Structure 1
């Protein structure tokens, strides 16, 4: 073997060795909740501890504006155009103006030109809730620069590590709105309803799709997607007129807002419920289990690192190293599955937790509402179950159950100050349809 070949093998071994050690260190840092990526637009590195982030007020206010516009129903292109028109500098030039070097495109477009993809990314970053999400991507080898997106269940998520720019409820609402956005540009008669993606069939669990009458485009309605579909077939249409649904939702929202204002203590008790303490204890138990598994995972990382160093130093032979490392890797693999499952459960539970004061304030805003808006629906409603209209004693009734954010289905008690109304509509073929609220145990 000549000198060149020897030098190449030595360099190759050195690069591989450095890469492996760097992976171990990054894994330890990532599993400890230290951000592995640079701070996104709206944050800067903490001067007192550069490992973590702090809010940068100027950029953070732009982020809040983008989220407000999204809640108000603006599309990605509309938000980008409004920012450009107001002379707001885009993230690329914002970082350049502060001497921060960031990877990616070195675009030379004008400083105030915003792309819809930039807006979309800002609207999807969970980091704005104050969270750290590590291991979003990975590389197969130190020889490959290309990064591969990591599935969500393989990521390490740490909640409330730094100060939030966007509160979690707002972030969740925007994600729901973005999820329901269609790629196809709607025509005038096909414009989606604010309820699109929120109506569920209680019979088959499918969504209700939005339609309009071919002969009269003013008649818009929803019906179960699985009726006569051949896939998870539903026996009923669960047909409901949009104008009838709007009356029902507006009526129930006003009743809820009135109850929250006039009988605040009763409303708070109903919101908290007996299950609150159980939910808290469950969360604490899951967190303790997660902390134990995470600590063991860090311990295994250190054990593996020492084992590797001992093998390189010749203190442990290759056979012993292979046997012990296999045992550590198996244990880590089993723990990793449990850690992922627990983090996903805690994340799901956290998104459902409610801030009573915030929810009360939100509900009260709609006490005097006269119309349904996209923001109202996003802030208050998780989903709505629509039952198929049934005829009893000559009267056709349709049950509708509204599941609110934070509190789920809620039957407003009959009280003297709570408004009541009979919602009756002349629908197809002169049939009078009346609303029958679902009775829910409070």
Structure 2
């Protein structure tokens, strides 16, 4: 009877949680930065004191600080970690009781804060589950099985900033050089248009002042890329700074034209990306249906003894493996398409961000994170005795953007001498495709 009672209570509790979760009511307690709404405890409101710390953590991430550096800065300033902060406010939270110092921040805490989508104002239910009421262990639920409700409560971090931090985490970052100890703001941002790989950051062994990027797949042993796509860091910084200044000048002097161009470009980028994913999804669905037919005919051939059992087992295993991989990709594409339906670009926010870098004099980690999605670097080509390096800058939300030639917008040719005595120049002809 005790066993039956526990099982019955568990079943009823799961039904109630499922109904609440599918209606948009948060099933978990508010994360650090939020507290329960006194008027309606089911939902959350911003905790101003903790929200200030959350915004600082995200800002430091945009500025290029790592987890250890962020944790050290918070500890140095005497900021309470979430466990002791809740304890000081008299809030009871489950889990193990921490015995570390109140101002000691762990890497995992910083990392978790930087990944919580709830800071955008969203509610995400069914992030984990248990197989049975007899098991205490929680199992992570696949993203496609979660219930996501957008803009339920007030956001601490705007969506553009959150998404940029997530993309920075995904980018490949090379370990800091042991000699120069200086990271590059462009690490994980530069792409090879030939093979699609990242460009890795290096420095010259004979002269550490010469820093450059080259394609990771050229010297990998597999030779996936036929050229190095070499570009000097100094040259790249001058080019990007020049283009950012032109973009900011255009936004300030011709605001109406800039907004009109941004709206059209943003819509085009979003639609192109959505169309590409839809084409890929349609192709995978067609292939999945084709595999079902192949498997059915294969089974019939095996029954009629046209193929042996060993051959049938080998081929069916290959088809099942392909179907399994396709199924994962289909779920991911459907989730991406569903998310893209609610995504809209904030024109005012991007315009304000561009204006912030008017007359910028140097490249910073924050500038690259806020303005640039990625940069395609083409291999240098020699024409009429001059080596020309083409790059394509993809800005956040609007993709490639060619600044029109206007009277008030500065224009100049960037040329730099190399250690081999070759003059390398930059051309704006292929900034926008």
Which aligned pairs between 1:13-162 and structure 2 lie closer than 5 A?
13-162=4-153
Distance 2:69 2:218 in 1: 36
What is the TM-score when the length of structure 2 is the normalising length?
0.81
Residue 321 of structure 2 corresponds to: none
Residue 406 in structure 1 maps to residue 397 in structure 2: yes
Corresponding residue number in structure 2 for 1:366: 357
Mapped pair 1:220 → 2:211: yes
Q: Give the distance between the partners of 2:176 and 2:404, measured in 1 at CA.
A: 43
Q: Aligned partners of 2:179 and 2:88: how far apart in 1?
A: 43
Conserved? CA contact 2:58–2:165, under 8 Å? yes
How far the C-alpha of 1:62 sits from its partner, in A, is 1.6
The answer to whether the 8 A contact 1:259-1:267 is kept is yes
The Cα of 1:386 is off from its aligned counterpart by: 0.4
Question: How many aligned residue pairs are there?
Answer: 379
CA contact (8 A) 1:154 1:340 kept: no
* Structure 2 contact 26–42 (Cα < 8 Å) conserved: yes
Deviation larger for 240-249 or 72-81: 72-81
Deviates more, 1:169-178 or 1:406-415: 169-178
CA distance in 1, matches of 2:214, 2:332: 37
How many angstroms does 1:135 deviate by? 1.5
Show structure 1 runs of 5+ residues with no match.
Answer: 1-9, 284-336
Distance in 1 between residues matched to 2:96 and 2:254, nearest whole Å: 56
How many Å apart are 1:196 and its aligned residue? 0.6
Say which is worse superposed, 60-69 or 222-231, in terms of deviation: 222-231
**Alignment CA distance shift 1:140-1:112 (3 Å):** same
- Are 1:204 and 1:232, in contact at CA under 8 Å, matched by a contact in 2? no
CA distances 1:210-239 after superposition (whole Å, capped 9, x unpaired): 111111111111111111435471111111
Alignment-derived partner of residue 251 in structure 1: 242
- In 2, the alpha carbon distance for the partners of 1:426 and 1:279 equals 39
Kept after mapping to 2: 8 A contact 1:35/1:51: yes
* Aligned partners of 1:209 and 1:224 also within 8 Å: yes
Structure-2 change in CA distance of 1:438 and 1:350 (3 Å):
farther
Q: 1:166-315 maps to which residues of 2 (within 5 A)?
A: 166-180=157-171, 186-189=177-180, 191-231=182-222, 233-273=224-264, 276=267
1:279 CA displacement: 6.2
Instruction: Answer whether contact 2:172 2:198 (CA < 8 A) is retained.
Output: no
TM-score between both structures, scaled by the size of structure 1: 0.79
How far apart are the structure 1 equivalents of 2:376 and 2:174?
A: 26
Contact 1:381 1:404 (C-alpha < 8 Å) held by counterparts: yes
SS at match of 1:424: strand
- Partners in 1 of 2:331 and 2:20 — Cα distance? 16
1:149 positional shift: 1.7
Counterpart pick for 1:430 among 402, 414, 421: 421
Q: Go from structure 1 to structure 2 and tell me whether the alpha carbon gap of 1:340 and 1:72 turns closer, same or farther (over 3 Å shift).
A: closer
CA distance in 1: counterparts of 2:177 and 2:431, whole angstroms: 37
RMSD: 2.6
Q: Distance in 2 between matches of 1:218 and 1:396?
A: 22
SS in 2 for 1:408: coil
What secondary structure does 1:51 align onto?
A: coil
